[in-house]
Structure 1
Amino acid sequence: MSVHSPLPSPLVLPLPAALDTRSFFKLHWTCFKVLGIIAPTSNAYYFGYSVLLHLLVTFCYPLHLAMALFSNTNASANIQNLAVCVTCVACSMKFIIYATKMERLRELEAIMAALDERVNSSRERRYLAQLRKEIRHIIVGFLSIYTLVGVTAELRFIFRNEHNLLYPAWFPFDWRASDLKFYAAHLYQIVGISFQLLQNFVNDCFPTMTLVLLSAHIKLLGIRVSQIGYANRSLDENEEELFRCIKDQEQLYNMLNVIQNIISLPMFLQFTVTAFNICLAMAALFFFVDAPFDRLYYFTYFLSMPLQIFPTCYYGTDFQLLFEKLHIEMYSSNWVEQTQKFRKHMILFCERSLKQHTAMAGGIVRIHLDTFVSTCKGAYSLLAVIMKMNE
């Protein structure tokens, strides 16, 4: 995997931190650097770190799990190995896709910077202050999910009576031969799953963040439009403001297209894996595990799967509804006292807002709450098949 050098920042006017929505991605860019795809400086050490990390974690970690699939006599171990293997394979695939989209991420930031420059009223600034808290809660939520999964997985290892790996897997040496080999295998698994969890955090949190910010900028445009005609401005100035709002509307549609280009395939993989893993976690809880810490792990795993996609589906529905309400915000403006040219532009703005816009995963399914419900139903249907086979 190639290492991307930082691209030049878009030429935009500097904004106060409170108005720079690009700053919400600061943690993600830090994670990308730690995960070896954004070089802080062009140097051989970082390149070597990146190659080694992707070889040992992105590629070899799912491989060493896949080579041990269904090789255990214990059904619980096979279920666990299958669940974590599918998750890690999907995680690596999604991360590789995001690694190839770095230029599109910069393009997205450039659009957000242009929209940030349009924020001027106190009402818009107050909304952005509330948004910062909402973003913080989303990030903490995702971090909590992956931390709990990692901790409960390690607890299963600590409280086992016999020497067993964190996850059933293949190694090119006999890890049972000595304590040194056993702890070397465990160290690889715990370090590898930590990096995989960090990759998963970026993979799953990023789509939610982009859709949150899309919804935020749609909301800001609605606020901006609804205030036209009430300030002490001339009719010509109101016409110019509406024209700028129409340009903002075009930018938002462009922003949606860029977001969809980035997250479409990763979200399709996520929906598929989520349905499969919810089913496996429920099957393990009902039929295959008895130990308390095993049950705790699978219960946490079961809860984490739908929580990974729910925020993205929620905001995928939210931005669609906000787009559809833009014409209502337009009619909240003082359009009655404006010029005929203003009203013609107003009709153009309203007609555009009536067209339905939605994000698609893989060009097949909508990133929408309906898809979240369908994914959960699909997981239950798979469980019903397993229950029938178990009988």
Structure 2
Amino acid sequence: MSCNHIKSNHLYLKNPSQNIEPFTMLISSLSFFKSHWAVWKLVGLAFRQTKRTKLYIVYSLMLNLLVSIGFPLHLGLSIFRNQNLSDDILNLTTFATCLACSLKTAIYAYNLDKVRQMEQLLSQLDLRIKSAAEKSIYIKLKTQLRNILYVFIGIYLPAGVFADLAFIFKSERSLMYPGWFPFDWLNSTRNFYIASAFQITGVSFQLTQNYANDCFPAVMLCLISAHIKMLYVRFEQVGVDDAENAEDQLEACITDHKRLLELFRTIESFMSLPMLIQFAVTGLNICTSIAGLLFFVTEPMTLTYLIFYSLGVPLQIFPTCYYGTDIELWFGKLHYAAFSCNWLAQSRSFKKKLMLFVERSLKRTAPLAGGMLTIHVSTFFSTLKFAYSLFTILIRMRN
């Protein structure tokens, strides 16, 4: 057994008696998608998962015409037509976010069948989790996914709360977000309540859509990263146990690698365009929200809302960028795992297959947004630099 093998097992399994649950524990990566499917059903995207299809289609059409199209439209029609610059900033940032949310929702709805393909591949990979070291990685995966959930709750909850408080504590009658309505809401109490109810309902559904839009890619990339780590451990075990056929073990690992690559390509095609939209909107919204904070907004509650909003916008893309980087790193390490197995004592046929695998694993595997931008931590910081560049241009125009 090689030194690398011993070190790797030490990395993943420092104390088996404390870290490993009983071997009868349920392993199902699909359980991590329950909340996403619940959201997709709620917002009218999961046509094939409902029994009353016709009724659900009517519900979906009404909801998406009202929210996915109507809500961004009523915000967009009032851009730069508000009474002050503070409302213009709030209007622009909200419109950009809601338009991006609706576009991403439409793209995900079109590609939703790919989620089932990904679930099938994950189910096949789950069946391969057998050793204590692999189960230790799976247990750590649960903690990572829980942390992702906490990140998104931490993004949406404060922003939503302070948006409501800013609306409640306004000294004059005004809407939660500046927007256009085909009726006079300012001088009619009934119309004001109708407009406010529409905005509260619309933003609630947009936040719900955004949860699935932003959280699902991060969760899927985190799962792929964990399965690559498990494959790394599995490779190291090839040829160690004389009771098992080393070549069969190698072929099974190569099959796992092919499934992981297929899973990776599927999630990349699923999130590629939405992530490109998100990068662009993130840069714009960071710039406009900070400009509003520094120069235009004076109301305390609106200021607090913009603080949480400007912090939350970049955090929406950070988990996805982080696990995109992690996937590239671990895919790039697999050839080390291949040479950590007991390959010296194996047959020529085994060594040929191992070399073919190593050649394939040397190819860079990194997710791309729109086929142009790498979904990587470096792109996250590039987005922040882009926002800073826009901000400097805005300052020069203001001067």
TM-score band, normalised by shorter chain: over 0.9
Partner of 1:223: 233
Distance (whole Å) between structure 2 residues aligned to residue 232 and residue 159 of structure 1: 73
In the TM superposition, 1:127-142 aligns within 5 A as: 127-142=137-152
> Residue 38 of structure 2: which of 24, 30, 38 is its match?
30
Residue 185 (1) aligns with residue 220 (2): no
Q: TM-score, normalised by structure 2?
A: 0.91
Shift of 1:43: 4.3
Distance (whole Å) between structure 1 residues aligned to residue 30 and residue 63 of structure 2: 27
In the TM superposition, 1:300-319 aligns within 5 A as: 300-319=308-327
Partner of 2:107: 97
Partner of 2:338: 330
Segments of 4+ moved more than 6 angstroms: none
Shift of 1:46: 2.6
- Give the AA of the match of 2:247: E
Shift of 1:299: 0.4
Q: Is the 8 A contact 1:18 1:129 kept in 2?
A: no
Size of the alignment, in residue pairs? 375
Distance (whole Å) between structure 1 residues aligned to residue 87 and residue 257 of structure 2: 53
Residue 55 (1) aligns with residue 65 (2): yes
Q: Is the 8 A contact 1:208 1:315 kept in 2?
A: yes
> Residue 358 of structure 2: which of 350, 356, 365 is its match?
350
Distance (whole Å) between structure 2 residues aligned to residue 260 and residue 16 of structure 1: 33
Distance (whole Å) between structure 2 residues aligned to residue 320 and residue 17 of structure 1: 29
Distance (whole Å) between structure 1 residues aligned to residue 129 and residue 73 of structure 2: 49
Q: 1:119 to 1:185 in 2, by over 3 A?
A: same
Partner of 1:115: 125
Shift of 1:359: 0.8
Shift of 1:125: 1.2
> Residue 381 of structure 1: which of 358, 370, 389 is its match?
389
Partner of 1:267: 275
Partner of 1:8: none
What per-residue deviation string (whole Å, max 9, x for no partner) do you get for residues 298-352 of structure 1? 1001001110111111111110010010011112212222222222211112111
Q: TM-score, normalised by structure 1?
A: 0.93
In the TM superposition, 1:190-205 aligns within 5 A as: 190-205=200-215
**Alignment gaps of 5+ in structure 2:** 1-22
RMSD over aligned Cα atoms: 1.4
Partner of 2:158: 148
Q: 1:347 to 1:308 in 2, by over 3 A?
A: same
Distance (whole Å) between structure 2 residues aligned to residue 82 and residue 361 of structure 1: 24
Shift of 1:17: 7.0
Residue 157 (1) aligns with residue 177 (2): no
Q: Which secondary structure state, in structure 2, belongs to the residue aligned with residue 18 of structure 1? A: coil
Distance (whole Å) between structure 1 residues aligned to residue 65 and residue 346 of structure 2: 63
Residue 240 (1) aligns with residue 248 (2): yes
Partner of 1:169: 179
Distance (whole Å) between structure 2 residues aligned to residue 263 and residue 339 of structure 1: 42
Distance (whole Å) between structure 2 residues aligned to residue 86 and residue 166 of structure 1: 16
- Give the AA of the match of 1:270: Q
Distance (whole Å) between structure 2 residues aligned to residue 260 and residue 157 of structure 1: 39
Distance (whole Å) between structure 1 residues aligned to residue 25 and residue 207 of structure 2: 29
- Give the AA of the match of 2:43: L
> Residue 209 of structure 1: which of 207, 216, 219 is its match?
219
Residue 20 (1) aligns with residue 36 (2): no
**Alignment gaps of 5+ in structure 1:** 1-14
Partner of 1:64: 74
- Give the AA of the match of 1:379: A
Which of the pair has the greater relative contact order for Cα pairs under 8 Å at 6+ separation?
Answer: 2
